């Protein structure tokens, strides 16, 4: 969108400007940088589940003893999302992404040297704080550089980094544990994000929508826009704005104002139920498969199909979510419920179980990533990181409950079929909440800025 030279006195609407530009190399580079952050995030989040069977043998502890360790990391993830989302709406997305990546890299590396369960629990909690801060801000940053017509597709494509990292964690665990033990998995998981930090400092831009909303960084916003869209003409001394209402006070309170309360509550239900199911499966699948007779490497590889399916689901669902929004999400979670129940029905046969796990990952991981994209579109710039962060934070309560429920049911010696039948219920609840969102009135911020003026 070219601006005439005489238009310098009139602020340029950053949202409409980005919506009017083609997706270019700089946006793809930013997407890949954020995907790299989530790649390491996914690897480090899921690593504890893949090493769990080996750790149980090495330390001679019960399977149920790892439930609190799983949940400690998820408590950290929850608090990181709740705290660093609103903080990023105050100080910027880039700073939080860089700091969070450094924090979870150090925490994961330290986990490799944990001498006992108590230390492991504490380190997983601290690592979780960094993991929880990185995700909502990577989503917000990608969303704010994406045109409305491709926003869900770009956010979901970026989020494939998490699923690939989580899936690769299983493959790496299967490869390195027989030779080097479970600690080597955490050495790898800590070193990679620490190497990524200086790249982020140098190459990751701040959100121009955030800068425009602050009203204090026109020169910096102009420089970023010229670098991102070199073919677009910007006048010297250009000023920038976002045509959204100023939101003073506590960012969290605004999640429930101006007609956003219903959307916020239903999004929280979707995130809670979706992440409960996802972490129930990702933490306990390798252990359940191992109990049914699969070797530790085979259990890790088959369990990783949950995330492989998630990558396939994310790639496939992006355009559908851009077009059909919450309607497509509701159908995705409905199919997920059937796939999760099918895992229990086929768990004693490797090939049917692998197919059911892939299908569950396709729908649950793909649905969760679609939920992130839709949450980013549901809120204005001033509270976008807060909205995503709190949705993820509430979802993390579900992710804490999931492993604990799984551990409790395993301790009670529930049959495999019954275990996964129970796990199908949260996916069904997520489908109903998404259906309610599809039938409800969308928040004003979900409409194209260029078309609505908002």
* 136-160 confidence digits (pLDDT tens): 899 889 988 888 888 888 988 898 8
Contact 244, 384 (CB under 8 A): no
Q: Which among 360, 392, 410 has a CA at the least distance from the CA of 136?
A: 392
Residue with token string 């750790």: 55
CA distance 408 to 451: 51
Q: Which two tokens stand for residue 246?
A: 């100023």
State how far the Cα of 286 lies from the Cα of 281, in Å rounded to an integer. Answer: 9
Residues ≥6 apart with Cβ < 8 Å to 233: 2, 3
pLDDT for residue 172 is more than 90: no
How far is residue 161's CA from residue 40's CA, in Å, rounded to a whole number? 8
How many Å apart are CA 274 and CA 277, to the nearest integer? 5
| CA 137/CA 229 separation, integer angstroms | 22
Note the pLDDT of residue 9: 54
Tell me what the mean pLDDT of segment 103-108 comes to. 95
Predicted local confidence at residue 218, as pLDDT? 79
pLDDT of residue 197: 96
- Strand-pairing partners, residue 240, are 12
Residue 187 clears pLDDT 90, i.e. is over it: yes
User: Could you give the count of Cα atoms lying within 13 Å of 189 in the half-sphere of its Cβ?
Assistant: 38
Distance CA 277, CA 283 (A): 10
**Would you give the end-to-end CA distance of the chain in angstroms?**
17
Contact 46, 281 (CB under 8 A): no
What integer pLDDT is reported at residue 445 of this predicted model? 41
Nearest to 227 by CA among 92, 25, 32: 25
Lowest mean pLDDT among 47-61, 107-121, 283-297: 283-297
Say which DSSP state 146 is in.
Answer: S
Residue 442 scores a pLDDT above 80: no
Alpha carbons 211 and 237: distance in angstroms, whole number = 15
Kindly tell me if the per-residue pLDDT of 453 is higher than 70.
no
Question: Which single residue is written with the structure tokens 């995705």?
Answer: 332
Give the per-residue pLDDT at 249. 57
Does residue 308 carry a pLDDT above 80?
yes
Q: How many CB atoms lie within 10 A of CB 247?
A: 19
Separation CA 300–CA 294 (nearest Å): 9
Neighbours of 451 (CB within 10 A): 10
Q: Give the pLDDT confidence of 33-91 residue by residue, as tens digits.
A: 999 999 999 898 888 878 888 888 888 887 778 878 877 887 888 899 889 988 888 88
In this predicted structure, what is the pLDDT of residue 168? Answer: 83
Residue 347: which pLDDT band, with cuts at 50, 70 and 90? low
> What digits encode the pLDDT tens for the residues 324-342?
889 999 999 999 999 999 8
Name the band, by pLDDT with cuts 50, 70 and 90, for residue 446: very low
> b vs e for 291-308, b when ≥16 Cβ sit within 10 Å of the residue's Cβ?
eeebebbebbbbbbbbbb
- pLDDT for the residue 29: 93
DSSP code, position 439: H
pLDDT at 166: 80
What's residue 265's pLDDT? 95
What pLDDT shows up at residue 245?
63
User: DSSP letters of 284-326?
Assistant: HHHHHHHHTT--HHHHHHHHHHHHHHHHHHHHHHHHHHHHHTH
More confident residue, 371 or 454: 371
Instruction: Report how far residue 275's alpha carbon sits from residue 262's, in angstroms, rounded to the nearest whole number.
Output: 20
- Contact criterion met (CB below 8 Å) for 370 and 157: no
pLDDT in tens, 194-234: 999 999 999 999 988 888 877 667 788 888 888 888 887 77
**Pairwise pLDDT comparison (251 vs 240), residue with the higher score:** 240
What percent of the chain lies above the pLDDT cut of 70? Answer: 92
Tokens of 252: 């969290």
Residues 16-31: pLDDT tens digits? Answer: 888 888 888 889 999 9
Averaged pLDDT score across all residues of the chain: 84
pLDDT band at 364 (very low <50, low <70, confident <90, very high): very high
- What pLDDT score was predicted for residue 247? 63
CB of 377 within 8 A of CB of 445? yes
Domain range 12-243+250-442, CATH class: mainly alpha
Q: Are 275 and 399 in contact (CB under 8 A)?
A: yes
Kindly report, residue by residue over 401-420, the tens digit of the pLDDT.
Answer: 887 788 888 778 787 778 88
Rg (CA), the chain: 22
pLDDT at 449 over 60: no
Helix%, strand%, coil% for the chain, nearest 5: 80, 0, 15
Q: 453: left (phi > 0), else alpha (psi -120 to 50), else beta? A: left
- CA–CA separation, 385 and 331 (whole Å): 27
Asked if residues 229 and 207 have their Cβ atoms less than 8 Å apart, the reply is no
Whole-number Å distance between alpha carbons of 91 and 62: 44
The pLDDT, as a whole number, for residue 244 is: 66
């Amino acid at each position: 969108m070219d601006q005439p030279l005489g238009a310098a006195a009139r602020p340029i609407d950053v949202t409409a400007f980005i919506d009017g530009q083609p997706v270019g190399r700089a946006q793809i580079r930013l997407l890949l940088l954020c995907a790299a952050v989530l790649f390491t995030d996914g690897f480090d989040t899921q690593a504890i589940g893949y090493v769990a069977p080996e750790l149980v043998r090495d330390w001679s502890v019960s399977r149920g003893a790892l439930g609190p360790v799983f949940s400690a990391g998820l408590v950290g993830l929850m608090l990181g999302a709740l705290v660093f989302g609103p903080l990023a709406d105050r100080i910027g997305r880039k700073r939080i992404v860089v700091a969070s990546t450094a924090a979870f890299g150090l925490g994961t590396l330290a986990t490799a040297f944990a001498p006992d369960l108590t230390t492991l629990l504490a380190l997983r909690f601290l690592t979780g704080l960094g993991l929880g801060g990185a995700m909502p801000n990577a989503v917000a940053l990608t969303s704010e550089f994406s045109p409305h017509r491709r926003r869900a597709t770009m956010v979901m494509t970026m989020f494939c980094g998490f699923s690939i990292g989580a899936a690769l964690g299983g493959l790496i665990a299967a490869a390195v544990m027989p030779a080097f033990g479970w600690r080597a998995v955490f050495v790898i998981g800590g070193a990679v994000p620490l190497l990524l930090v200086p790249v982020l400092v140098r190459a990751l831009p701040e959100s121009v929508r955030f800068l425009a909303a602050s009203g204090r960084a026109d020169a910096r916003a102009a420089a970023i826009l010229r670098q991102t869209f070199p073919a677009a003409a910007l006048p010297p001394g250009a000023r920038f704005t976002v045509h959204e209402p100023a939101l003073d006070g506590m960012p969290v309170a605004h999640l429930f104002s101006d007609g956003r309360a219903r959307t916020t509550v239903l999004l929280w239900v979707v995130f809670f139920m979706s992440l409960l199911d996802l972490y129930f499966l990702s933490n306990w699948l390798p252990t359940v498969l191992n109990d049914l007779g699969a070797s530790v490497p085979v259990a890790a590889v088959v369990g990783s199909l949950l995330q492989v399916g998630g990558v396939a689901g994310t790639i496939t669902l992006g355009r559908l979510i851009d077009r059909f929004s919450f309607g497509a999400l509701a159908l995705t979670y409905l199919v997920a419920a059937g796939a999760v129940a099918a895992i229990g029905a086929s768990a004693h046969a490797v090939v049917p179980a692998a197919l059911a796990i892939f299908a569950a990952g396709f729908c649950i991981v793909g649905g969760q990533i679609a939920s992130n994209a839709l949450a980013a579109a549901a809120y204005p710039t001033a509270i976008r990181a807060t909205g995503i962060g709190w949705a993820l934070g509430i979802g993390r309560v579900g992710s804490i409950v999931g492993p604990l429920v799984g551990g409790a049911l395993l301790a009670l010696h529930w049959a495999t079929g019954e275990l996964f039948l129970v796990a199908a219920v949260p996916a069904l609840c997520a489908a109903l909440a998404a259906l309610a969102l599809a039938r409800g009135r969308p928040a004003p911020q979900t409409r194209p800025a260029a078309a609505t003026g908002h």
